Amino acid sequence: MNIRFSRSIFAAACVAAASAAQALPREDRASFVLFAGGNISMPGSFRGQTQPLQTTDPLGSTVYDDLKYSDAYKDGVTAGGEFDYAFDSHLSGFARAAYTEFNGSTQNIGEFEPAVDGAGHAISATFGDTATRELDVGARYTFTPDAKVRPFVGAALGAAHLSATRAEVENINGFGDMHVELAPASTVFQQRLETGLQFSPMRNFDLRLTAAATHTDGAHPSDDPNLTLLGLDRAGGEVRAHWDYPAELGAVWHF
């Protein structure tokens, strides 16, 4: 091959490589994110029952209703970290780890109706705090990558470890409480969709606002014998699959 021609090819390759490096600098391919946020909404419910529980002591029947997750648990707070790698100026992959804590509350979960004349009473339960630990991998597509404000969409698959779901449930006779485990600690699959905006106030540092929808599979059923004593083995001994809708604010460092 002609030496002058080889030099021309080499020079052209260098120019092309320099142009690519300028479009997406090597040091900007990777980034680390710290984020925090909370759940805007958590629809879904614990399972109710299809027929009343009949008891002889006390004599009467008890019906447990569907209970919304958002009633049983308040103030879901999320924090975590993420590692991103940009394949090109639009498409990036990420691995994400998060921890979410939910504060339990006290709610009426059913009603006892005596068989003879008399006033019925509500059955209440105090739910213990619970938490999830999540690990996801996914991809994100960024629109207008050269702008200061960049909208994006993303999707991820992963797993969530759910803490045990426990509650102190009022006895049917109205005296004292009984500790029950509605669902044991479980590791289940989850899927996540997200959208948001990323803002670049300075080089190598961004702020990211994300709105997400996360679907978490149902937890394994509990075999706690106290569920049978309270009649909850047919009502509430199951934590259903559900969606939650977190909003997160993240700080992004490029390197």
pLDDT 10s digits, 66-87? 777 878 887 788 999 999 999 9
What is the predicted pLDDT for the residue at 14? Answer: 41
Instruction: Tell me whether residue 13 is in a domain.
Output: no
| Overall domain count for the chain | 1
Q: What is the domain range of residue 45? A: 27-254
- What CATH number is attached to the domain comprising 104? 2.40.160.20
pLDDT of residue 83: 97
- Amino acid letter at 91? L
Decide if pLDDT at 116 tops 90. Answer: no
Q: Within a 10 A sphere around the Cβ of 17, how many other Cβ atoms? A: 10
Residue 9 in any domain: the answer is: no
Kindly report the three-state secondary structure assignment for every residue of the chain. Answer: CCHHHHHHHHHHHHHHHHHHHHHCCHHHCEEEEEEEEEEEECCCEECCCCCCEEEECCEEEEEECCEEHHHHEEEEEEEEEEEEEECCCCEEEEEEEEEEEEEECEEEEEEEEECCCCCCEEEEEEECCEEEEEEEEEEEEECCCCCCEEEEEEEEEEEEEECCEEEEEECCCCCCEEEEEEECCEEEEEEEEEEEEEEEEECCEEEEEEEEEEEECCCCCCCCHHHHHHCHHHCCCCECCEEEEEEEEEEEEEC
Q: How far is CA 251 from CA 100, 197, 200, 247, 248, in A?
A: 18, 12, 10, 14, 10
Would residue 55 count as lying in a domain?
yes
Rg (CA), the chain: 27
5 domain residue, yes or no: no
Q: Is residue 118 part of a domain?
A: yes
Residue 184 burial (CB count, 10 A): 17
Of 196, 111, 100, residue with least CA distance to 154: 196
Residue 19 forms part of a structural domain: no
Residue 244 lies in a domain: yes
Average pLDDT, rounded, for the chain:
82
CA angle (254, 143, 209) in 5-degree steps: 60
Q: Please check whether residue 85 lies inside any domain of the structure.
A: yes
Q: Give the confidence band of 150 by pLDDT, cuts at 50, 70, 90.
A: very high
Give pLDDT tens digits for 90-110.
Answer: 999 999 999 999 889 998 888
pLDDT bracket for residue 234 (50, 70, 90): low
User: pLDDT tens digits, residue range 158-212?
Assistant: 999 989 888 998 876 666 788 888 888 989 999 999 999 999 999 889 999 999 9
**Interval 118-129 mean pLDDT:** 84
For residue 47, what pLDDT is reported?
A: 65
